[in-house]
């Protein structure tokens, strides 16, 4: 006879992305909240568990956690992410036979029905549960005896004592520990969660060209010169120093100063034109030093608490060894030439691209995977990837999966200033962080709408925006025209709206000389050496350092999905909060969006979210000025100036002690 089948329906399992096609992203140490709709015909009591496991070569058996009903056939549960890596989870449900029987028994008692048959049925259920408990070994022996005693009590005949024993919730709890799972249903395909290490969520980036770090004007810098810059980077509070490509640079079609098509003999060229007879993507530029010098630079950075991020640009100078050694990796025109790279309206005459999906893609992809693994061997775990949106998505999904299977602590930042859906597709494919349109969001409504989309919408499950006010490629118009106040307010926004942000060196010196009519730097460091005076008058080094110190001191600023906007009665002032779930860290921030004038605003405070009563008095500590004040009521007033266009408050609440009042939070 065919076995009985279960009929439980499990649907709407969350969180998931594209029906489980891609893993959801969380931080190691977090708890993942899982919800599902679980239902069955009739009135059976259901048992629902969340099953999860870590996907490692030595993966243990799945663990289980009981899920709780939350109304309307919805269930919820949690599981912890103990460490960095990939996890899988699913939901399993089955009818809880004894609880269902006990529920029906209580209704029949109320109806004054004869219960002889029901008591026999209950005894049978307890006998079966006792056998399963005994089969569990010594751990179930005590429970097996208790279940057998319950069986005997039910067989003693209908009495008040028997019915009381039958409805004892402790008996039902014991029976439920040894369920009959023959009618169990699982949710099907396991869903996945990738637990990022903390720096993939919370990081402060400083972009530095090593070749511009020499003390003597006109001399090409080395890794040793760049090493002397590391205390400066640490003083500013950054924990990631990001280097543009450090490889040999080609001479064919080398770019001159300001992207000139003809280079002078002493022009250094673009670091993104990778490859020369001295080597390619696994080599270092001879003028920078040796591979051993680079490893020493990485080690020195680590001693200061700084990680090195390396730019990976999968493109080649025409002089790259790949072009000669593996011509089959490149697609050629009918005349035999290789097409140069373009990102309209820009054209890169000094760069050629791979034939990504060509017949030799298997060997090409394997070689490019080895590039990542090579630099990981040198101590690098963070990669900023150049223009990933111009390479196939299947490649990124494959290569990032391959690298993270070996090194789950690797972090990939997508430099993808491109179409929104492509940016999100790259994040799904495995990129941990992404550049964003923050650079061009200026007005309050567009800033709020965009940051809500990033941090509160569906994309927040898989995409983390790293906010950059500038890059070597982009000097936005507001920085060109707004002067020092613009640099102050844009850094305050970037550093507080997202747990990850970055600046390109020179930002702290308010560099804003642009090519006429373009969002590009005049005398761009992409094409020439640049010498800087870090003590330049008007610099905002102290402001940058303060922002990074505040970020490090307040856990609310280290999370991504907790950003909430609140009302300010001035369209030139944006007001928002970030709080930890337990409210132990609460941050309020107001930032001016206008670098040309001072502004005042009435702020509507989120008292309910802060756990405050309307008449409760509390203290706020303004972290940039180190000023304190007592606030009470639903509003507060702020004045923001060009010299101080932001205010960041930490909320401190009172509590009564034996000595009087004290502060907490």
CB-based contacts of 473, cutoff 8 Å, min separation 6: 520, 526
Do residues 652 and 664 make contact, with C-beta atoms less than 8 angstroms apart?
yes
List 151, 319, 415, 511, catalytic entry: 415
Do residues 356 and 392 make contact, with C-beta atoms less than 8 angstroms apart?
yes
Q: What is the distance, to the nearest Å, from the Cα of residue 495 to the centroid of all Cα atoms in its chain?
A: 15
pLDDT interval class at 339 (50, 70, 90): confident
Q: Does 116 reside within a domain?
A: yes
* Mean pLDDT of the region 199-228: 97
Rg of the chain over all Cα atoms, to the nearest angstrom: 31
Q: What's the pLDDT score for residue 220?
A: 98
List 92, 143, 307, 386, catalytic entry: 386
Pair (465, 614) in one structural domain: no
Pair (327, 365) in one structural domain: yes
Q: What is the CATH number of the domain that holds 630?
A: 2.60.40.1180
CB-based contacts of 252, cutoff 8 Å, min separation 6: 317, 318, 319, 350
Q: State which of 535, 553, 571 marks the end of a domain.
A: 553
Pair (151, 228) in one structural domain: no
Domain that holds residue 596: 563-664
Pair (529, 618) in one structural domain: no
The DSSP annotation for 450-489 comes to HHHHHHHSGGGGT-EEPB-S-BTTB--HHHHHHHHHHHHH
Pair (165, 238) in one structural domain: no
Pair (575, 528) in one structural domain: no
- β-pairing, 185-186 vs 563-566, is unpaired
**pTM for the model:** 0.93
Q: What's the pLDDT score for residue 607?
A: 97
For residue 496 the two structure tokens come to 């507080």
Q: Does 587 reside within a domain?
A: yes
Q: What's the pLDDT score for residue 658?
A: 55
- The pLDDT of residue 660 is above 50: no
Q: Does 202 reside within a domain?
A: no
Pair (502, 406) in one structural domain: yes
**How many separate domains does the chain show?**
3
Q: What's the pLDDT score for residue 659?
A: 53
Q: Does 3 reside within a domain?
A: no
Query: What's the CA gap between 105 and 76, in Å, rounded?
Result: 28
* H-helix or E-strand spanning residue 423: helix 420-429
Nearest Cα to 645, choosing from 625, 627, 631?
625
Query: What's the CA gap between 313 and 384, in Å, rounded?
Result: 9
For residue 568 the two structure tokens come to 């300010």
CB-based contacts of 120, cutoff 8 Å, min separation 6: 154, 155
Q: State which of 504, 520, 553 marks the end of a domain.
A: 553
Pair (409, 485) in one structural domain: yes
Q: What is the dihedral of CA 238, 244, 248, 252, to 10 degrees?
A: -160
Q: What's the pLDDT score for residue 654?
A: 58
* Mean pLDDT of the region 375-386: 98
Q: What is the CATH number of the domain that holds 132?
A: 2.60.40.10
pLDDT in tens, 152-192: 989 988 888 888 888 999 999 999 999 999 999 999 889 99
* Mean pLDDT of the region 537-563: 98
Q: Is 190 a catalytic residue?
A: no
Q: What is the CATH number of the domain that holds 337?
A: 3.20.20.80
Distances (CA, A) of 556 to 84, 111, 202, 239: 21, 56, 11, 18
pLDDT in tens, 492-521: 999 999 999 999 999 999 999 999 999 999
- Please compute, for residue 623, the number of CA atoms within 13 A of its CA located in the half-sphere on the CB side: 25
Do residues 358 and 329 make contact, with C-beta atoms less than 8 angstroms apart?
yes
Q: Is 415 a catalytic residue?
A: yes
Q: Does 43 reside within a domain?
A: yes
């Amino acid at each position: 006879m065919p076995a009985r089948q279960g009929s439980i329906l499990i649907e709407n399992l969350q969180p998931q992305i594209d029906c489980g096609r891609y893993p959801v992203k969380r931080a190691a140490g977090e708890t993942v909240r899982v919800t599902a709709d679980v239902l069955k015909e009739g009135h059976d009591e259901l048992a629902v568990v969340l099953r999860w496991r870590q996907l490692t070569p030595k993966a243990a058996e799945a663990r289980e956690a009981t899920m709780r009903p939350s109304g309307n056939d919805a269930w919820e549960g949690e599981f912890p992410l103990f460490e960095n890596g990939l996890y899988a989870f699913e939901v399993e449900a089955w009818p809880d036979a004894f609880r269902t029987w006990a529920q029906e028994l209580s209704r029949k008692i109320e109806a004054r029905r004869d219960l002889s048959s029901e008591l026999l049925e209950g005894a049978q259920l307890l006998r079966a549960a006792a056998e399963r408990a005994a089969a569990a070994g010594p751990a179930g022996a005590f429970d097996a005896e208790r279940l057998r005693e319950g069986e005997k009590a039910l067989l003693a005949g209908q009495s008040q004592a028997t019915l009381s024993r039958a409805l004892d919730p402790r008996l039902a709890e014991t029976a439920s520990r040894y369920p009959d799972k023959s009618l169990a249903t699982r949710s099907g395909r396991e869903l996945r969660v990738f637990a990022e290490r903390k720096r993939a969520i919370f990081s402060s980036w400083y972009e530095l060209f090593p070749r511009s770090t020499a003390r003597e004007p006109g001399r090409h810098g080395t890794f040793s010169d760049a090493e002397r810059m590391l205390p400066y980077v640490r003083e500013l509070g950054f924990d990631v120093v990001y280097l543009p490509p450090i490889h040999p640079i080609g001479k064919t079609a080398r770019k001159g100063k300001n992207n000139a098509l003809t280079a002078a003999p002493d022009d250094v060229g673009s670091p993104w034109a990778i490859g020369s007879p001295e080597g390619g993507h696994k080599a270092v530029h001879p003028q920078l030093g040796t591979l051993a010098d680079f490893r020493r630079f990485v080690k020195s950075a680590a001693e200061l608490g700084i990680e090195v991020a390396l730019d990976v640009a999968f493109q080649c100078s025409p002089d790259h060894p790949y072009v000669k050694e593996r011509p089959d990796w490149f697609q050629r025109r009918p005349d035999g030439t290789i097409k140069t790279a373009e990102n309209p309206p820009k054209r890169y005459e000094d760069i050629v691209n791979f034939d990504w999906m060509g017949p030799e893609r298997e060997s090409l992809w394997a070689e490019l995977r080895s590039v990542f693994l090579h630099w990981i061997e040198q101590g690098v775990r963070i990669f900023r990837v150049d223009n990933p949106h111009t390479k196939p998505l299947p490649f990124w999904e494959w290569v990032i999966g391959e690298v993270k299977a070996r090194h789950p602590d690797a972090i990939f930042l997508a430099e993808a200033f491109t179409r929104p859906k492509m940016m999100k597709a790259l994040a799904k494919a495995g990129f941990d962080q992404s550049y964003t349109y923050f650079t061009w969001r200026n007005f309050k409504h567009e800033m709020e709408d965009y940051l809500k989309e990033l941090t509160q919408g569906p994309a927040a499950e898989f995409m983390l925006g790293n906010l950059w006010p500038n890059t070597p490629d982009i000097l936005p118009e507001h920085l060109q025209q707004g002067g020092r106040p613009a640099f102050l307010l844009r850094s305050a926004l970037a550093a507080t709206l997202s747990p990850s942000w970055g600046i390109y060196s020179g930002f702290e010196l308010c560099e804003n000389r642009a090519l006429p009519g373009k969002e590009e730097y005049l005398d761009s460091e992409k094409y020439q050496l640049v010498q800087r005076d870090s003590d330049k008058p008007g610099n905002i080094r102290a402001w940058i350092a303060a922002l990074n110190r505040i970020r490090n001191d307040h856990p609310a600023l280290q999370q991504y999905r907790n950003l909430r906007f609140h009302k300010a009665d001035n369209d030139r002032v944006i007001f928002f909060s970030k709080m930890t779930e337990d409210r132990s860290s609460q941050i309020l921030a107001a930032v001016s969006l206008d670098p040309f004038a001072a502004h005042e605003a009435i702020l509507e405070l989120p008292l309910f979210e802060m756990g405050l009563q309307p008449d409760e008095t509390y203290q706020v500590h303004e972290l940039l000025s180190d000023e304190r004040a007592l606030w009470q009521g639903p509003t507060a007033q702020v004045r923001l100036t060009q010299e101080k266009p932001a205010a960041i408050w930490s909320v401190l609440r009172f509590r009564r002690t034996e000595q009087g009042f004290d502060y907490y939070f």
